[in-house]
Amino acid sequence: MVERHRRLGRLLPGDLDAHQANLYQMIVGGPRANDQPVSSTVDAEGSLAGPFGAMLLSPALGVHMQALGAAIRYESSLPPRVREAAILMVADREKSSFEWSAHHPIAISAGLTPADLSTIRAGGAPAGASPLENALLVAATALVQREEFDDAAYADAVACAGERSLFELCALVGYYRMLALTMRVFGIE
């Protein structure tokens, strides 16, 4: 994955103050470390890749942002296939090349096919493998496309997936939008 920082200076581990170093360790030593063969969070020199470098600007916020992301990825009830499809839907909609590149291999590992990825690139959602997945993917499409989420859509999503899953899906979409905005502002590609 090629990454460019157009605006934000890269911080190397030796440049970090104590709070930044603590956050750095949370990111590289937390559950994302298990994804290292698939999606690296650091570049060759040890600088945090993607949105994580920007989190170092405010460690007090960054600690909570990275914890939210870890909870969404590793502790939510969302099926991995739905989670990764929704992340890629946000990445595509928000033109976040970093998130697309980082999550593409994870999505394939979670069961998305090249045809599913093409559907997402075309602005749609892949078909779900179950009624629960279908309901969540329909909801994700509405959330990502900023469509009206009316009472009927809510009732259908809750009947198939439950309020908890719908809440977690809302958190996922909001979190990855926040990352995309951060990377856009700081010129991280």
Verify that 94 and 109 share a domain, yes or no.
yes
- DSSP, collapsed to helix, strand or coil, labels residue 127 as coil
* Domain contains 184: no
Q: Which of 36, 53, 74 is the last residue before a domain boundary?
A: 74
How distant, in Å, are the alpha carbons of 16, 58, 135, 169, 173 from that of 182?
A: 20, 13, 29, 20, 14
How distant, in Å, are the alpha carbons of 8, 14, 97 from that of 184?
A: 11, 26, 10
- Record the pTM: 0.91
Q: How far apart are CA 78 and CA 58, in angstroms?
A: 29
Q: What is the pLDDT of residues 99-143, one digit of tens each?
A: 999 999 999 999 999 999 999 999 999 988 888 999 999 999 999
Verify that 131 and 169 share a domain, yes or no.
yes
Verify that 66 and 86 share a domain, yes or no.
no
